[in-house]
Amino acid sequence: MSTAAHGAGEPCGDGLRERETVRTGGRHGGESAASRATSASTKDEDAVEAPRNGSDFAHLFVFANEKAGMKKVDKEHVNQIVFEMSKGSEHFKEAQRRDERTQAEVRKLRAKLATTLESDLAPVRHRVDAKVTKLLRERDLSRIYCVVDMDCFFAAVEMRDDPSLAGKPMAVGGLSMISTTNYLAREYGVRSAMPGFIARKLCPELVFVKSNFDKYRQASQEVRDILKKYDPKLHAGSLDEAYMDITDFVDVKIATEQAGANLDADAQTARRFHVAERVVQAMRDEVSAHTRLTCSAGIARTRMLAKIASDRNKPNGQCVVPWQPEKMLRFTRELAIRKVPGIGKVAEKKLKDALGVATVRDLWDKRYLCAHLLSAVQADYLLRVTLCCTNPSVSSSQASSSSAASSSAAAVSALPSAFGQGEDNQRGRKSIGMERTFSQGASSVQELFDTCLDICARLSRRCVEKQLIGHCVTLKIKKSSFEVFTRQTIVTNAVPRCADGTDLFEHARELLAREMPCRLRLMGIKVSKLIDPSHAPVKIVSSGVLHAVKPWMMRRTLK
Amino acid sequence: MSTAAHGAGEPCGDGLRERETVRTGGRHGGESAASRATSASTKDEDAVEAPRNGSDFAHLFVFANEKAGMKKVDKEHVNQIVFEMSKGSEHFKEAQRRDERTQAEVRKLRAKLATTLESDLAPVRHRVDAKVTKLLRERDLSRIYCVVDMDCFFAAVEMRDDPSLAGKPMAVGGLSMISTTNYLAREYGVRSAMPGFIARKLCPELVFVKSNFDKYRQASQEVRDILKKYDPKLHAGSLDEAYMDITDFVDVKIATEQAGANLDADAQTARRFHVAERVVQAMRDEVSAHTRLTCSAGIARTRMLAKIASDRNKPNGQCVVPWQPEKMLRFTRELAIRKVPGIGKVAEKKLKDALGVATVRDLWDKRYLCAHLLSAVQADYLLRVTLCCTNPSVSSSQASSSSAASSSAAAVSALPSAFGQGEDNQRGRKSIGMERTFSQGASSVQELFDTCLDICARLSRRCVEKQLIGHCVTLKIKKSSFEVFTRQTIVTNAVPRCADGTDLFEHARELLAREMPCRLRLMGIKVSKLIDPSHAPVKIVSSGVLHAVKPWMMRRTLK
DNA sequence: CTACATAGG
DNA sequence: TACTCCTATGTAG
DNA sequence: ACCCATAGC
DNA sequence: TACTGCTATGGGT
Ligand SMILES: Nc1ncnc2c1ncn2[C@H]1C[C@H](O)[C@@H](COP(=O)(O)OP(=O)(O)OP(=O)(O)O)O1
Ligand SMILES: Nc1ncnc2c1ncn2[C@H]1C[C@H](O)[C@@H](COP(=O)(O)OP(=O)(O)OP(=O)(O)O)O1
Ligand SMILES: [Mg+2]
Ligand SMILES: [Mg+2]
Ligand SMILES: [Mg+2]
Ligand SMILES: [Mg+2]
Distance B220 CA to ligand 5 centre (A): 11
Q: CB of B319 within 8 A of CB of B266? A: no
Q: CB of B149 within 8 A of CB of B156? A: no
Q: Which of B119, B543, B559 sits opposite A518 (nearest CB)?
A: B559
Q: Do B120 and A396 touch (CB under 8 A)?
A: yes
- For the CA of A399 and the C1' of D8, the distance in angstroms is 20
Share of chain A above pLDDT 70, in %: 80
SS3 labels along B33-65: HHHHHHHCCCHHHCCCCCCCCHHHHHHHCHHHC
Residue B411 binned pLDDT confidence (cut-offs 50, 70, 90):
very low
pTM of structure: 0.83
Share of chain A above pLDDT 90, in %: 74
DSSP classification of residue B101: H
* Distance separating alpha carbons of residues B464 and B497, to the nearest angstrom: 8
- Following DSSP, what letter does each residue of A384-448 receive, concatenated? HHHHT--SPP--SSPPP-EEE--SSS-SS----HHHHS-S------SEEEEEEE-TT---SHHHH
Minimum distance, in Å, between the CA of residue B516 and any CA atom of chain A: 7
For residue A404, the cross-strand partners are: B402
Q: CB of B128 within 8 A of CB of B376? A: no
Residue B417 has what pLDDT? Answer: 52
Q: CB of B68 within 8 A of CB of B314? A: yes
Task: Name all domains of chain B by residue range, CATH numbers in brackets.
Answer: 145-192+203-323 (3.30.70.270), 431-558 (3.30.1490.100)
Cβ neighbours around A170 below 10 Å, total: 24
Instruction: Determine if strand C comes within 7 Å of the CB of A151.
Output: no
Q: Measured at the alpha carbon of residue B425, what is the angle toward residues B464 and B428, in degrees to the nearest 5?
A: 10
Q: Which nucleotides of F are covered by protein (CB under 7 A)?
A: 1-13
User: Counting every residue, how long is chain B?
Assistant: 559
**Residue B51 backbone class (left: φ over 0; alpha: ψ -120 to 50; beta: rest):** beta
**Residue A316 backbone class (left: φ over 0; alpha: ψ -120 to 50; beta: rest):** left
Distance B149 CA to ligand 5 centre (A): 5
Shortest CA–C1' contact from B440: which nucleotide? F2
Residue A40 has what pLDDT? Answer: 40
Asked if pLDDT for residue B500 goes beyond 80, the answer is yes
Concerning whether B241 is annotated as a catalytic residue, the answer is: yes
Q: Which residues contact B161 (CB under 8 A, 6 or more apart)?
A: B215
Q: Which residues contact B80 (CB under 8 A, 6 or more apart)?
A: B53, B54, B55
Q: Which residues contact B107 (CB under 8 A, 6 or more apart)?
A: A543, A545, B42
What is residue A477's three-state secondary structure?
Answer: strand
Residue A317 has what pLDDT? Answer: 98
Which one has a higher pLDDT value, A424 or B282?
A: B282
CB distance B211 to ligand 2 below 6 Å? no
Peptide bond into A517 cis (omega under 30): yes
Residue A555 has what pLDDT? Answer: 60
For residue A435, the cross-strand partners are: A524
Residues of chain B contacting residue A543, judged by C-beta atoms under 8 Å apart: 104, 107
| Lateral strand order in the sheet of A170-173 | A178-181, A170-173, A207-209
Comparing A491-505, B7-21, B23-37, B50-64, the range with the smallest average pLDDT is B7-21
Q: CB of B511 within 8 A of CB of B467? A: no
Q: What share of chain A is helix, strand, coil (3-state, %, to 5)?
A: 45, 15, 40
pLDDT digits (tens, 9 = 90+) for A304-343: 999 999 999 999 999 999 999 999 999 999 999 999 999 9
The residues of A whose Cβ lies within 8 A of any Cβ of B are 104, 107-108, 111, 115-117, 119-120, 376, 396-397, 400-406, 477, 479, 483, 485, 515, 517-518, 543-545, 556, 558-559
User: Counting every residue, how long is chain A?
Assistant: 559
- Bridge pairing between strands A235-238 and A241-245: antiparallel
- For the CA of B497 and the C1' of E4, the distance in angstroms is 29
Q: Do B405 and A403 touch (CB under 8 A)?
A: yes
Hey, whose CA ends up nearest to atom 21 of ligand 2?
A: B152
Distance B412 CA to ligand 5 centre (A): 23
Q: Do B107 and A543 touch (CB under 8 A)?
A: yes
Residue nearest to nucleotide E3 (CA to C1'): B486
Shortest CA–C1' contact from A173: which nucleotide? D4
pLDDT digits (tens, 9 = 90+) for B231-265: 999 999 999 999 999 999 999 999 998 877 789 99
Question: Crossing angle for the helix pair B247-257 and B265-291, nearest 10 degrees?
Answer: 100
Minimum distance, in Å, between the CA of residue A238 and any CA atom of chain B: 32
Q: CB of B504 within 8 A of CB of B495? A: yes
